[in-house]
Structure 1
Amino acid sequence: MSRLIVNRRRFLLGSAAAGSGLVLSGCNQFDFLAQRGNPVREVIEQANVLTYSAQRALIGDQVLAREYAESEIRQGMKPNGSTEPSTPEYMFLRQANFEPYRLTIKGMVEREVSFSLAELRNMPSRTQITRHDCVEGWSCIAKWTGTPLGPVLDQAGVKPGARFAVYHCFDNIQRTVSGDILYYTSSDLVDAYHPQSILAYGLNDEVLPVSNGAPLRLRIERALGYKQPKYLHTIEIVDDLSPFGRGKGGYWEDNGYDWYGGI
């Protein structure tokens, strides 16, 4: 089983890195990766569905990602992607040392709730040393501390029929003439309730830096890096992903990446 998981990890990292490079390069011959309805892209998307189903069946819902010893932390966590959001809301919070910050849980819940950073830090916490795998081909082992997401969702009361959690961020990952495009991604509720899925506010025994997602970053440890949203401010519980972005479940997913992103 371990060999199967390792081989699948290598395949995912290689294929995802190649695919993302094609999209970002802007080469016209690979425009189909960003074209909804293109038959080649639809074949790839169906393969992603099979991968998701196979991993759920083979690995199980609650199997943990590997955790490491502190001696295996070789460097600081590499900042990647957006490292300094410039939206007015985020800049205000940063100048106020994130004191006014609140995480909101809404959507298909019994009650909409919100929590300050201090309230989240006062909840039971979990610390884990895990490996972050990026589609660009690099990995980094780091120690993360935060509040398990599952019990936070329970305080809102997830309604029957809910299937996904959509994670909304302050990160203005793209600027266009019509305004900023903000980062978002999503997961199913299995990953949201996984014991290693935490709302991280600490990194390597320090307060989470802005460059790594302060004040709060979600860690879904069995997924690739783009499924670890930084600058998180709202979690929306839903039964359908189609109303968000281009309907694929996330910013990068809307641009051709695998929705599941599992390792």
Structure 2
Amino acid sequence: MSRRPPSEFSFSRRALLQRTLLGAAALGLVGCDRLSENDAVISLLDSAETLNLKTQRLLAGRESLAVEYPASMISPVFRPNGTVDPQTELYRQLAANDFADWRLTVGGLVRTPLELSLSTLRGMPSRTQITRHDCVEGWSAIGQWSGPVLGDILEQAGVHDSARYVVFHCMDQLDGQHDYYESIDMVEAFHPQTLLAHSLNDEPLPVGNGAPLRLRVERQLGYKMAKYLKGITLVEHFDDIQGGKGGYWEDRGYTWYAGI
């Protein structure tokens, strides 16, 4: 069930408290590339991240839904975030054939590893939701996303009890060396609004917005919503994945939990 957006000036006291507390940690993200070199700032951001996670789970609950909007509020242009045209050899080869040879792998701590084509994913039961994307750079946009619910795919794969995180591997590189990646915990992974989106505004996902498949984690900031997906791995920890912080930007100083 979707939630209608609150009017501009009609926030309840509880909603205002939620927005105040849940947004506090995001303030530490501004200028992270420079501030992340300071040990005191890193400690402060870690504390803010823990507070943000605990506060959101306490006030909003594990199953609370992000606001969903009417179609009349869809943004005329949905601005892409991050990479807009990956130049990795793998991506260029797959895009040249309209992703007919692309496969999403699901592995790690699962009982039945999966390999899913784009046509298979498009044929699965899907969810459509109109939500707002909030970027750490300060802009936002509202779009309609469609795709299978991540939890349904994870149930199909059969998740081991030892799995604590879902890691998303991507085909783009921001620095020309390291593939983008992200991760979320099992609460967010099985949230009903967490999608693997193959469509934006009733059209196949554009390249700039993450074709052929991207993650939508509607209760977190935009950098968590990995684009250009190629694989999903269920893990107990991410200590041995790239910088060990659970994401490309987290390895460079951003907080791992980016709840809003």
Structures share fold, TM-score greater than 0.5 = yes
Match of 2:46 in 1: 45
Structure 2 counterpart SS, 1:109: coil
Match of 2:128 in 1: 127
**What are the ranges of 5 or more consecutive residues in structure 1 without an aligned counterpart?**
none
Q: Return the letter of the residue paired with 1:19.
A: G
Matched residues in 1 for 2:79 and 2:22: separation?
A: 20
Match of 2:198 in 1: 201
Structure 2 counterpart SS, 1:136: coil
Structure 1 counterpart SS, 2:181: strand
Matched residues in 2 for 1:128 and 1:12: separation?
A: 26
Greater share of helix:
1
Match of 2:17 in 1: 4
**What are the ranges of 5 or more consecutive residues in structure 2 without an aligned counterpart?**
1-13
Query: Cα offset for 1:74?
Result: 3.0
Whether 2:250 is the aligned partner of 1:249: answer no
Matched residues in 1 for 2:190 and 2:75: separation?
A: 29
Matched residues in 2 for 1:130 and 1:208: separation?
A: 15
Cα distance change, pair 106–183 in 1 and its aligned pair in 2 (3 A)? same
Cα distance change, pair 112–82 in 1 and its aligned pair in 2 (3 A)? same
Match of 1:99 in 2: 100
Q: Return the letter of the residue paired with 2:46.
A: E
Match of 1:236 in 2: 233
Query: Cα offset for 1:13?
Result: 4.4
Post-superposition CA distance 1:232-254 (Å, at most 9, x none): 11110001121112111000011
Q: Structure 1 length as normaliser, TM-score?
A: 0.90
Structure 1 counterpart SS, 2:132: strand
Query: Cα offset for 1:213?
Result: 0.2
Query: Cα offset for 1:230?
Result: 0.3
Match of 1:90 in 2: 91
Out of 198, 211, 214, the position equivalent to 1:214 is: 211
Q: Structure 2 length as normaliser, TM-score?
A: 0.91
Out of 160, 163, 181, the position equivalent to 1:184 is: 181
Tell whether the 8 Å contact from 2:238 to 2:244 is kept in structure 1 after alignment: yes
Matched residues in 2 for 1:172 and 1:134: separation?
A: 19
Tell whether the 8 Å contact from 2:114 to 2:157 is kept in structure 1 after alignment: yes
Query: Cα offset for 1:39?
Result: 4.1
Tell whether the 8 Å contact from 2:21 to 2:55 is kept in structure 1 after alignment: no
Match of 2:7 in 1: none
Matched residues in 1 for 2:191 and 2:154: separation?
A: 12
Q: Return the letter of the residue paired with 1:60.
A: G
Structure 2 counterpart SS, 1:174: coil
Structure 2 counterpart SS, 1:114: strand
Matched residues in 1 for 2:92 and 2:185: separation?
A: 30
Matched residues in 1 for 2:145 and 2:37: separation?
A: 33
Q: Return the letter of the residue paired with 1:250.
A: G
Percent of aligned positions that are identical = 47
Query: Cα offset for 1:156?
Result: 0.9
Query: Cα offset for 1:34?
Result: 4.0
| Aligned-residue CA RMSD (Å) | 1.4
Matched residues in 1 for 2:17 and 2:238: separation?
A: 30
Match of 1:158 in 2: 159
Post-superposition CA distance 1:137-186 (Å, at most 9, x none): 011011111110001011111001210001100011112xxxx2110010
Tell whether the 8 Å contact from 1:34 to 1:255 is kept in structure 2 after alignment: no
Aligned residues: 247
Structure 2 counterpart SS, 1:140: strand
Q: Return the letter of the residue paired with 1:182.
A: D
Match of 2:5 in 1: none
Query: Cα offset for 1:9?
Result: 5.1
Query: Cα offset for 1:10?
Result: 4.7
Matched residues in 2 for 1:211 and 1:43: separation?
A: 34
Matched residues in 1 for 2:150 and 2:166: separation?
A: 11
Matched residues in 2 for 1:242 and 1:163: separation?
A: 13
Query: Cα offset for 1:6?
Result: 2.3
Matched residues in 1 for 2:106 and 2:257: separation?
A: 22
Matched residues in 2 for 1:44 and 1:13: separation?
A: 9
Matched residues in 1 for 2:145 and 2:167: separation?
A: 21
Post-superposition CA distance 1:43-79 (Å, at most 9, x none): 3213212221221122111100000001111322101
Q: Return the letter of the residue paired with 1:215.
A: P
Matched residues in 1 for 2:20 and 2:44: separation?
A: 22
